[in-house]
């Protein structure tokens, strides 16, 4: 279901999505009041929900939609402003699954194509997650939100691979000098819970790459700063790596660490996106492995795609500890699923158990 007060946006979203053989638009609404009425009639599995609308805005409609169907997947859509970034992060804590920043203009080809590709990928990933959980719970969907497709194309990314997970055994447990965290879809919610539990547990520097545009990463750092007991900030090019700091990769910049003399220093760059992402988790992990070797404790949280797989492979080869979030507590089990399925994880754990595993590794115990 598409919910947006702009007829233009409703129109091009509907055309884009109906052009996808696997997606069906079952309802369209121009505000929250209409959305609630249409939701009860159409029972969509996923909703694209605008934030700013007359009569009833998206933030007001969100909990009411979730009350009607606790399993509904909701993507918040907003223009890229500081206020909307803040509202979008608040919406994630209220039950939204993800967010997407609207392009400033649909006439700019690159912006439009990036937005369209990102939205379609999010819908397919969240739709697959919803239906997997429905099947596991013995639920039968009212209609196929993802239409059957007659095609021989193989999916580019496997979401929630079902092959048995083989854990990489602990040989020795290197004392970590830094913690690295990679996340995408569902990441902000997971980060808030993780850092709330991590308070007082470590003084190690923490590096976070979360797939987000620039305005959003600044707000994310501010939210983490309110939750955690250490300084959380967007990373700045050239700053020294210090204990008791959390560094968030700024939107549209890869965050890496290099040794300058004997001092680890943060370097930001705008080299091409990796895995369609900038910031990307892989450049961060590769750089940390080059500087700290096996002394990097890595956590891969919920997210679609496979960003982080290459970096985790290099870290695993060096003997570093890698922890992945499990499928049940992930919004989308793409990134952690890719790393786990490749046999790179020492542990695959529910989100609520990851803090304890981090503490164990820091203390030299198996996670």
What is the rounded distance in angstroms from the CA atom of residue 87 to the CA atom of residue 162?
35
What whole-number distance in Å separates Cα of residue 184 and Cα of residue 195?
A: 16
Catalytic annotation present for 326: no
Q: State the Cα–Cα distance between residues 299 and 336, nearest whole angstrom.
A: 9
Active-site hit among 211, 223, 295, 306: 211
Catalytic residue among 4, 50, 282, 307: 307
Taking the C-alpha atoms of residue 348 and residue 56, their distance in angstroms, rounded to an integer, is: 41
Plot region of 238 (φ>0 → left; ψ -120 to 50 → alpha; else → beta): left
307 catalytically annotated: yes
Instruction: State yes or no: is 211 an active-site residue.
Output: yes
**Tokens of residue 76, six digits:** 């918040």
Residues 6+ apart with CB under 8 A from 356: none
C-alpha pair distances (Å), 9 with each of 5, 20, 42, 47, 102: 8, 17, 20, 14, 9
Rounded Cα gap, residues 345 and 339, in angstroms: 7
Query: Which listed residue (30, 78, 88, 184) is catalytic?
Result: 184
Catalytic residues: 184, 211, 307
């Amino acid at each position: 279901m598409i919910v947006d007060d702009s007829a233009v946006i409703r129109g091009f979203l509907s055309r884009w999505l109906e052009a996808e053989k696997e997606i069906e638009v079952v309802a369209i609404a121009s505000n929250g009041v209409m959305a609630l009425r249409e939701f009860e009639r159409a029972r969509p599995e996923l909703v694209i929900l605008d934030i700013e609308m007359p009569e009833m805005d998206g933030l007001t409609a969100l909990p009411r939609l979730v009350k009607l169907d606790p399993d509904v997947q909701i993507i918040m859509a907003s223009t890229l402003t500081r206020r909307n970034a803040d509202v979008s992060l608040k919406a994630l804590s209220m039950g939204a699954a993800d967010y997407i920043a609207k392009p400033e203009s649909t006439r700019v080809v690159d912006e439009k194509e990036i937005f369209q590709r990102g939205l379609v990928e999010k819908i397919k990933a969240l739709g697959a997650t919803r239906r997997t959980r429905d099947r596991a719970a013995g639920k039968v969907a009212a209609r196929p939100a993802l239409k059957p497709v007659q095609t021989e194309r193989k999916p580019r990314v496997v979401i929630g691979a079902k092959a048995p997970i083989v854990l990489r055994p602990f040989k020795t447990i290197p004392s970590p000098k830094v913690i690295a965290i990679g996340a995408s879809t569902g990441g902000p919610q997971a980060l808030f819970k993780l850092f709330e539990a991590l308070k007082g547990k470590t003084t190690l520097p923490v590096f976070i790459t979360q797939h987000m545009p620039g305005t959003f990463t600044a707000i994310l750092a501010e939210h983490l700063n309110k939750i955690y007991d250490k300084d959380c900030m967007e990373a700045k090019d050239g700053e020294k790596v210090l204990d008791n700091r959390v560094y968030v990769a700024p939107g549209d910049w890869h965050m890496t660490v290099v040794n300058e003399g004997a001092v680890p220093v943060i370097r930001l760059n705008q080299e091409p996106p990796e895995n369609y992402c900038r910031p990307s988790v892989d450049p961060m992990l590769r750089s940390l492995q080059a500087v700290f070797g096996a002394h990097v404790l890595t956590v891969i949280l919920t997210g679609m795609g496979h960003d982080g797989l290459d970096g985790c492979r290099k870290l695993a080869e060096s003997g570093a500890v890698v922890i992945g979030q499990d499928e049940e507590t992930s919004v989308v089990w793409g990134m952690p699923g890719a790393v786990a399925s490749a046999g790179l994880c020492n542990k695959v754990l529910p989100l609520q158990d990851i803090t304890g595993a981090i503490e164990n590794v820091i203390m030299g115990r198996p996670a």
